[in-house]
Chains A and B, each alone.
Chain A
Amino acid sequence: MDERKELMLYLHVPFCVRKCNYCDFLSFACTEETRSRYVDALCRELRERGREYSGRIVPSIFFGGGTPSLLSPAQLSKIMDCIRETFSVRADAEITMECNPGTVANLSQEQETEKLRGFRAAGINRLSIGLQSANDEELKLLGRIHDYQAFLKTYAIAREVGFTNVNVDLMNALPGQTLDTWKATLERVLALKPMPEHLSVYSLIMEEGTQFAAWESQGKFEGKLQIPSEELDREMYAYTGTRLREAGFSQYEISNYAREGYACQHNVGYWIRKDYLGIGLGSASLIDGVRYSNGTSLEEYLKDPLAGSEEEILTRSDQIEEFAFLGLRMNCGIRRADFETSFGEAWDGYWSEIIRKNVADGLLEEDAEGIRLTDRGRDLGNYVFSQFLFD
C-alpha cells in the first residue's frame, strides 16, 4: 500500500454544443481554436500547480463539464500525458469522463467508435453518459441535443470499445413528467444490455438564470407542462429507490446508485472530504483545509490560468460543518471514529442535542458507529444539514 498522501484530480471542460435549458454550470459554446488554446492552458495550470503537489498520488481523475467529450482523443491524451508527467497516478485509478451522446453521435459509426476508443486508449476507464431522459419529448424540453436513439448508439459503442464501468445520468421531476413517463425511462435504462454499473438520478432544480427559470416565471410550466408537486417528486424518488434495489443497485448517496463495487470513488471522495485539485476554468480545490477556486473568465484563464484564483482557509468550524453536511449525503452516513480522527475529539459536544432531536423526528438513525439519514431524512436532507451549521 502506497503511504503517500492522495490528491484527486478534477478537470473542467466548460464547452458545450449548446447550453441546456436547465443548466447553470459554467459552460458555453466555443470554436475549435479556443478549445485547443484551452487544452494548452489546462496543461500549463497542471504543471504549475503540480509542482507543489508532485509528491502526491492520484487515486482518481474526473473530467467534468460542460462536455469533456467535445475534446478530441488527441487533446485528451495530451492532458493525460501532462498529468502523468506531473503526478503519480495510481495504477488502478478511477478515471471518469462525462460524455454527452450528441457530441459523439453526430459522427459516423466509425468516427464515433474511433473517438471513444481513443478516449479509452488515453486512459479513461469510466464513462458517465448524460442521458437525462429516455423520452424524446422530455429531452427536447430539456434542450438536449440528442434523442434516445443517439444515446443507444453511443452506449453500444462504449460497451463495444471496452468500457466496463458506465454511469448514466437521469433527471426526474421534469415539467410535464408523470410517474408513468418516469417509470418508462427507468425501465428503458434497466433494459440496456449490459446494464449500466452506476446510475445518477437527480431531481430537477430550477436554478436562477437558466432558461427554465425564465419559462417558469413566464408561466410556461402550467397545465400540461406542470412541474411535479413535492408529493409527486417524492413518489418518483421513492419508486426509483425501490425499483433500482430490485434491479441489483444499492443507493450510496442521495442521488447515486451503484452495482456492487461500482460506487464512484471520485465523488465519494468529495463527500468524505478527501483532498482534490481542480484544474480548469472555475474549478475548486480542497487541499489541506484550504479551498481554492479558479476565476470564471475564459479570456483571463487563457491568458494566465493561475490568475484570478482565490483561496479560503477553512476554519475548524467550517470543516466540522462540511464533515456533517457532506458526509450525511451518503447512505452510510458519518462515523464517530472518522470525526475523532479528523478533529481529535468526540462530536457529542457539538451535536448530541441536534442528533437527539432529529432521531426523535425520524430523520436520522444512530448507532454506536455513527449517524445516517433515514428515508424520510433523505427527503428532507437540507432541513437536517442546516441544523448542523454553527450559529
Chain B
Amino acid sequence: MSQIDQSKIRNFCIVAHIDHGKSTLADRIIEQTGLLTSREMQAQVLDNMELERERGITIKAQAVRTVYKAKDGEEYIFNLIDTPGHVDFNYEVSRSLAACDGAILVVDAAQGIEAQTLANVYLALDHDLDVFPVINKIDLPSAEPQRVIEEIEDVIGIEAQDAPLISAKNGINIDQVLEAIVQKIPAPKGSPTAPLKALIFDCVYDSYKGVIVFCRIMEGTVKKGTEILMMATGAKEEVVEVGYFGAGQFIPCDELSAGMVGYITASIKNVKDTAVGDTVTDAKNPCKEPLPGYKKVLSMVYCGIYPADGAKYPDLRDALEKLQLNDASLFYEPETSIALGFGFRCGFLGLLHLEIIQERLEREYNLDLVTTAPGVVYKVHKTNGEVIELTNPSNLPDPSEIDYMEEPIVNAEIMVTSEFIGSIMTLCQERRGRYLGTEYIEANRALLKYELPLNEIIYDFFDALKSRSRGYASFDYDIKGYEQSKLVKLDILINKEEVDALSFIVHADSAYERGRKMCEKLKDEIPRHLFEIPIQAAIGGKVIARETVKAMRKDVLAKCYGGDITRKKKLLEKQKEGKKRMRQVGNVEIPQKAFMSVLKLDDRD
C-alpha cells in the first residue's frame, strides 16, 4: 500500500437537497465497491451518530475510503466525503467541498431541483469542483427523469443528458455511477515532495487518541514523527499516527501524501487547536501560505442553557466541554440568571444545531435542561460610540445609553410551486421580509428572493413555510450582514417580578402582539398557586399586556381506601416530582417548559 498512484484516486462528495437520497447513494457506493459485504452494512453507514440516523440528516462531515475495480481493469481509491446537508452547517460544507475534486449532484426524479440543490451545487461550483448529476428515485411512479434532466441543464447549466438514472434505494444502475466517478471526476494533483499543506475538514475527539484530525493532503507528505503546525491556531504537535477511513473505523497507514484523504493524530487534547478550514503544515518545513478560505466560525443563534436541577451545573459544564471536543462550532460561556441560577450562554450555527446539541445533552448525558428562547446577535451602538454584540437580552444597556441597534439580515431563497406563491409572500411580509424578486424555474415553479431578519426565521419559519405550502416549499439562506432596526426589549413580569430568562428582543412593531401572546401562553403554562398571579409584558417599565392565573381552588382526591393507597401515593409523588421541575421565581413556581414557550407563538394560521 506504500505507493499510491495519484491518478487512481478520486476525492468526491455528494450534494443534494435534503431527502433526495444522498446518504442512500453513499451507502450503495460503499456497498458496491466491495469494502463491506451487504451483511455488514447497516443502513446508512456514514451517519453513525444515533441522532443523525433518527433525523435522517448528516450532522458532521465524515469520510470513507473504498476500493473500486473499474471496467478498465484498474483499481481506484474512492474517498467519499460526506457533507452536512443543512444551511446551519454551510461553512463545514464549504470546507468539505474544498477537500474534494469533484461532486455528484443527486436530484430527485420526481421533485427536481429544490432550493438546497441550487445552494449546494453553486457552492460546489464555487470550489471549482467538477459536478456531474445523477437522477435518483427513478422507480417512483411520479418520476419524470427527462423533465428533471432538462431542468438541470436549464437552471444550473451543466450537462445532464447522460446522467445515470438510478434508484439508490433499490440499487438500480449504481454501477453507472461508479464508472462516472472514475470518468468524470478528476484525479487530484499536488506534489508529494513539496512542503506539507493539508486542509482540515473535520475532527473528532477520541479519549485514547486525542483529537483525530480529518484532512485532505494538498501538497507534500505527512507521517509518524512529522512535527506539524496548525497555521491558524498555531498549535504544534508531533504526529503519532496517520491513516485512512475504513467504513466506521480508522485504519493506520505509513504515510499520507498529496492527493490523499485521511486522518492524523498527534496527542492534541483540545479540539479548539484544530479548527475546520485550517491548514496543517510541517513545522520544520512550512509551506509559504495557508490554503484560502479559513474562517473563524461565528455563532448565529444564542440561548441560555440551564440544568433543571441546579446541583447538576458541573455535569452540564462537563457535558458541554465534551461536546465541544467534537464540535468546535459550539460556543459556551457561564452566565447567571436570577430566575434560573447558574448556566451557560451557548452559541450555535443555527436553530437545528441548537436543537441537536440540546437533544444530545439530554440524551447522551442524561441532563434535564431548561432552555431559554433562542436569539440572534444584535449590535448595540451606544451613545458613547461603543458597540456591544448582544447575545443575551438581559444585558441590553439602559435605553438612554443606546443610540441605535442593528440586527442580522439574511438573503433567503425559497423555491415554491406557483399556487403557494401568494401565501409564502404573505408569510415573508409578516416576518418583515424585503422582497427582492422572483425567478421562474419552470412555468409553475418559482424561486422567491427575500431579505429577512434572522431573528424572524430562527424560531419557526421553516415549519410555517412547510405548513403554508403543504410541505412543498424549500428554503435556503445565507447571512447578508447587519442593518439598523427598531428593536425593543420585551420584559415579562410574573407576580410583579421581572423574570430575566423570559426577556427577549423584538421589533417594535410586533412587540404588542408578541407580548400579548406570551402572556396568554404563560397563563396556560403556569399552574394555579395558592394566590392569584398577574403575568405582564412590559417595555421599559410600561405594561403592554396582562393576564392572570387564578388562585388554586381545588386539589384533592375524594376517595382513598385500602387498595387505592399505593396508587394515590404515586399520584402525590408525581405531584411532588412535578414541583421539582419548576423554577421558583419570587414565590411563584414556573414550569421549565414555560421558558421555551416564547418559541411557540406561531398560531397565526
Residues of chain A having any CB pair with chain B under 8 Å = 10, 12, 64, 201-203, 205, 230-231, 233-234, 237, 254-255, 267, 270-271, 276, 278, 282-284, 286, 291, 293, 312, 321-322, 325-326, 329, 361, 363, 378-383, 385-387, 389
In the assembled complex, the Cα of A20 lies from the Cα of B559 at a distance in Å of 17
Minimum CB–CB distance for A170 against chain B, Å? 11
In the assembled complex, the Cα of A24 lies from the Cα of B560 at a distance in Å of 13
Minimum CB–CB distance for B118 against chain A, Å? 46
Complex contact B552–A325 (CB within 8 A):
no
Question: Given A379-B554, A379-B556: A276 and B572 within 8 A (CB)?
Answer: no
Complex contact B553–A283 (CB within 8 A):
no
Minimum CB–CB distance for A384 against chain B, Å? 9
On chain A, the residues within 8 Å of B564 by CB distance are 284
Complex contact B558–A202 (CB within 8 A):
yes
Complex contact A233–B554 (CB within 8 A):
yes
Complex contact A270–B554 (CB within 8 A):
no
Which residue, A10, A231, A270, has most C-beta atoms of chain B within 10 A? Answer: A270
Complex contact B565–A284 (CB within 8 A):
yes
Question: Given A267-B561, A284-B563, A361-B530: A380 and B556 within 8 A (CB)?
Answer: yes
In the assembled complex, the Cα of A323 lies from the Cα of B1 at a distance in Å of 77
Q: Which 8 A-B pairs have the closest CB atoms?
A: A381-B556, A284-B563, A202-B558, A230-B553, A386-B576, A386-B575, A230-B554, A386-B572
Q: Is the interface of B mostly helix, strand, loop or mixed?
A: helix
Which residue, B557, B563, B566, B579, has most C-beta atoms of chain A within 10 A? Answer: B563
A321 contact from B552, B554, B569, B571, Cβ within 8 A: B569
Closest to B564 in A: A284
Question: Given A329-B560, A389-B576: A383 and B565 within 8 A (CB)?
Answer: no
Complex contact B554–A234 (CB within 8 A):
yes
B555 in the interface (beta carbon within 8 A): yes
In the assembled complex, the Cα of A270 lies from the Cα of B553 at a distance in Å of 27
On chain B, the residues within 8 Å of A386 by CB distance are 572-573, 575-576, 579
CB under 8 Å from chain A, chain B span 538-567: 552-566
In the assembled complex, the Cα of A326 lies from the Cα of B576 at a distance in Å of 16
Question: Given A231-B553, A380-B554: A10 and B562 within 8 A (CB)?
Answer: yes
In the assembled complex, the Cα of A340 lies from the Cα of B587 at a distance in Å of 34
In the assembled complex, the Cα of A203 lies from the Cα of B558 at a distance in Å of 6
CB under 8 Å from chain A, chain B span 227-258: none
On chain B, the residues within 8 Å of A387 by CB distance are 576
Minimum CB–CB distance for B553 against chain A, Å? 4
On chain A, the residues within 8 Å of B554 by CB distance are 230, 233-234, 237, 379-380
Complex contact B555–A283 (CB within 8 A):
no
Complex contact B565–A326 (CB within 8 A):
yes
Question: Given A230-B553, A379-B554, A382-B556: A276 and B562 within 8 A (CB)?
Answer: yes
Complex contact B562–A278 (CB within 8 A):
yes
Complex contact A325–B555 (CB within 8 A):
no
Complex contact B562–A381 (CB within 8 A):
no
Complex contact A382–B563 (CB within 8 A):
no
In the assembled complex, the Cα of A293 lies from the Cα of B552 at a distance in Å of 35
Complex contact B572–A389 (CB within 8 A):
yes
Minimum CB–CB distance for A253 against chain B, Å? 9
Which residue, B554, B556, B568, B579, has most C-beta atoms of chain A within 10 A? Answer: B556
On chain B, the residues within 8 Å of A276 by CB distance are 562
The count of A-to-B residue pairs whose CB atoms sit within 8 angstroms is 93
On chain B, the residues within 8 Å of A283 by CB distance are 562-563
On chain A, the residues within 8 Å of B575 by CB distance are 382-383, 386
In the assembled complex, the Cα of A226 lies from the Cα of B557 at a distance in Å of 20
In the assembled complex, the Cα of A270 lies from the Cα of B568 at a distance in Å of 13
Complex contact B561–A270 (CB within 8 A):
yes
Minimum CB–CB distance for B512 against chain A, Å? 30
B565 contact from A202, A203, A267, A270, Cβ within 8 A: A270
B530 contact from A267, A293, A380, Cβ within 8 A: A380
Question: Given A291-B566, A321-B569: A379 and B553 within 8 A (CB)?
Answer: yes
Complex contact B557–A381 (CB within 8 A):
yes
11 A-B pairs besides A205-B558, A329-B560 with CB distance below 8 A are A234-B553, A270-B561, A271-B560, A282-B563, A381-B556, A381-B557, A382-B572, A383-B575, A385-B572, A389-B569, A389-B572
Provide 26 A-B residue pairs closer than 8 Å at the C-beta atoms, listed in order of the A residue. Answer: A205-B557, A205-B559, A230-B554, A233-B553, A234-B553, A255-B559, A270-B560, A276-B562, A284-B562, A284-B565, A286-B565, A293-B563, A293-B566, A312-B566, A321-B569, A322-B565, A322-B569, A326-B560, A379-B555, A380-B552, A381-B556, A382-B555, A382-B571, A382-B575, A383-B552, A383-B555
Minimum CB–CB distance for B6 against chain A, Å? 67
Minimum CB–CB distance for A389 against chain B, Å? 5
On chain A, the residues within 8 Å of B566 by CB distance are 284, 291, 293, 312
In the assembled complex, the Cα of A380 lies from the Cα of B573 at a distance in Å of 15
On chain B, the residues within 8 Å of A361 by CB distance are 530
In the assembled complex, the Cα of A383 lies from the Cα of B527 at a distance in Å of 12
Closest to B560 in A: A329
In the assembled complex, the Cα of A387 lies from the Cα of B573 at a distance in Å of 9
In the assembled complex, the Cα of A322 lies from the Cα of B576 at a distance in Å of 15
Minimum CB–CB distance for B565 against chain A, Å? 7
In the assembled complex, the Cα of A160 lies from the Cα of B303 at a distance in Å of 75
Minimum CB–CB distance for B538 against chain A, Å? 29
Which residue, B553, B562, B575, has most C-beta atoms of chain A within 10 A? Answer: B562
On chain B, the residues within 8 Å of A230 by CB distance are 552-554
Minimum CB–CB distance for B579 against chain A, Å? 7
Closest to A363 in B: B530
In the assembled complex, the Cα of A254 lies from the Cα of B566 at a distance in Å of 18
On chain A, the residues within 8 Å of B557 by CB distance are 205, 381-382
Question: Given A230-B554, A385-B572: A202 and B559 within 8 A (CB)?
Answer: yes
In the assembled complex, the Cα of A312 lies from the Cα of B566 at a distance in Å of 10
Minimum CB–CB distance for A27 against chain B, Å? 13
Closest to A361 in B: B530
Which residue, B558, B560, B573, has most C-beta atoms of chain A within 10 A? Answer: B558
In the assembled complex, the Cα of A10 lies from the Cα of B562 at a distance in Å of 8
Minimum CB–CB distance for A321 against chain B, Å? 7
Complex contact A270–B558 (CB within 8 A):
no
On chain B, the residues within 8 Å of A389 by CB distance are 569, 572-573, 576
Minimum CB–CB distance for B310 against chain A, Å? 14
In the assembled complex, the Cα of A284 lies from the Cα of B561 at a distance in Å of 10
Minimum CB–CB distance for B127 against chain A, Å? 55
Complex contact A278–B576 (CB within 8 A):
no
Minimum CB–CB distance for B528 against chain A, Å? 8
Minimum CB–CB distance for A283 against chain B, Å? 6
In the assembled complex, the Cα of A383 lies from the Cα of B563 at a distance in Å of 22
Closest to A12 in B: B563
In the assembled complex, the Cα of A202 lies from the Cα of B560 at a distance in Å of 11
Chain A proximity mask over B570-583: 1 for CB below 8 Å, otherwise 0: 01110110010000
CB under 8 Å from chain A, chain B span 494-553: 530, 552-553
In the assembled complex, the Cα of A312 lies from the Cα of B556 at a distance in Å of 26
In the assembled complex, the Cα of A329 lies from the Cα of B560 at a distance in Å of 9
